[in-house]
Amino acid sequence: MSTTSFSILIVGLGWLLCVYVYAQANGKPSSKVPEGDSYASCYDTDSGKLVGPAKRRTFVLESPDGRYRAYGETTAVTHKRKNGHGDEHMECENETGLFVAGAWNESFRQVVSVLPRHGLSGNSISLVDWSREGHQLLIGEGLWGYGSDFGGTEIRVYDADSGTLSSESLVDEAFRKHAGKECIGVYQPVGFSEDGGIIVKAGPYFDEGEEQPRPESCMAKESIWLIGPARDAIRQLPDDYMPKHYGKEEPRKPASQVTLQAIL
């Protein structure tokens, strides 16, 4: 993967039952309420200590017309590795999936898989939004290296009607064509426009420890941009632009109901 694909990473019943069962199997309750990002880690976020395997599922996001539902799930597992001296140590690796279901009587199926890469063993999926029409789902694939500041987000669009996924370089290519030259930046997904264009937040790209952006960085400051829906169309939006959100978060069941159902 090229450097242009990265930005700096800051860090119903079905999903609730899964959380409950996982917590019981690990001997402690889950303190995490499902959000839009499936981030999971083998390390404690406060102490940094290795605490073992973890799993995290996002909430279920429903398309505006209720035709499709989606969630992301990440599993973080530990592996024993040997360094150059033959000493064993534990490492963490993530596997992430995007799951989509059609009508309410259809089961979820995995449509996207994000696997660990060399130097980027951590990954997650954030559900940004469904398009107003057309059943397109905007997602952010989080990628990072454990024990490293290096990481980023790939902005992608999953078309539920056709079952296709956009390329990893969708946003990079749009900015390169707009600039007419090699162009790198820090990109984060924001949402959809009413007509199906992708809204992104773009900013300058800095190398670690540097105070000035890279020469190839096209952005002087953070700004909001619209890409599409027409081919090769890209334009800057006002800094105070606030996009509408069209997807609907599926209502959660009370925890007491989940516990009772799990026991039964």
The whole-number average pLDDT for the span 154-182 is: 93
**AA identity, residue 187:** Y
Q: How far apart are CA 108 and CA 89, in angstroms?
A: 36
- Residues 48-59 have pLDDT tens digits of 899 999 999 999
CB 58 within 8 A of CB 125: yes
pLDDT greater than 50 at residue 195? yes
- Residues 17-60 have pLDDT tens digits of 232 223 323 333 333 457 899 999 999 988 889 999 999 999 99
- Residues 202-233 have pLDDT tens digits of 999 888 777 788 888 888 899 999 999 987 89
This prediction has a pTM of 0.80
What's residue 139's pLDDT?
Answer: 98
Give the H/E segment covering residue 187. Answer: strand 186-192
Handedness of CA 154, 159, 163, 164 (dihedral sign): negative
The whole-number average pLDDT for the span 63-78 is: 96
Q: How far apart are CA 189 and CA 181, in angstroms?
A: 22
What's residue 219's pLDDT?
Answer: 85
Q: How far is CA 231 from the centre of its chain?
A: 25
Q: What is the gyration radius of the CA atoms in the chain, in angstroms?
A: 20
Residue carrying structure tokens 């429903």: 62
**AA identity, residue 22:** Y
Query: Nearest 5 degrees, angle CA 34-CA 38-CA 42?
Result: 105
